[in-house]
Structure 1
Amino acid sequence: MAGGNFVGRVISYVVNELVVNTLANSPAFQRFAVRTSKRMEEVSNLAVRKRQELQEQLNESLRNFESQKKQ
């Protein structure tokens, strides 16, 4: 039973190494990885900007609400 598990892990390791090496040496995959990384960075920056905009809108709304409440 344990021998089968060992063989399975060895096969998994070898396949993993082959896949990793093949992808690492593939110009098409490298271009894909770079484009994906840049896009994820853009999306992250956009999310930060939108969060700041929403926070500013919320703060403005709260200020307006407080000023109307005082009148």
Structure 2
Amino acid sequence: MAGGNFIHRVVSYLANEIIVNGLANSPAFQRFAVRTSKKMEEVSKLAAQKQQELAEQLKQASKDFDPTKRH
């Protein structure tokens, strides 16, 4: 049983090395990675802006509907 586990680890290591080196040296994959990273940054920035806007709207709404204030 231990021999099979060792062989599995060796094959897994070799496959991982081949895949990682292949992708690391691939200009197409590098372009994909850069585009994906930039898009994720844009999405994160937009999400943070929307979160801030929503927080401000909720704060204003709570002020508008405060039952302790008399209009």
Q: Calculate the TM-score normalised by the size of structure 1.
A: 0.94
Per-residue deviation, 1:69: 4.2
Alignment gaps of 5+ in structure 2: none
Identity %: 66
Q: Calculate the TM-score normalised by the size of structure 2.
A: 0.94
One-letter code aligned to 2:23: L
After the TM superposition, which residues 40-51 of structure 1 pair with which residues of structure 2 at under 5 Å, given as runs? 40-51=40-51
Distance 1:64 1:70 in 2: 9
What is the Cα-based RMSD across aligned positions, in Å? 0.9
Structure ranking higher in helix proportion: 1
Alignment gaps of 5+ in structure 1: none
Distance 1:37 1:17 in 2: 23
Aligned pair count reads 70
Runs of 4+ in 1 over 6 A off after TM superposition: none
One-letter code aligned to 1:33: A
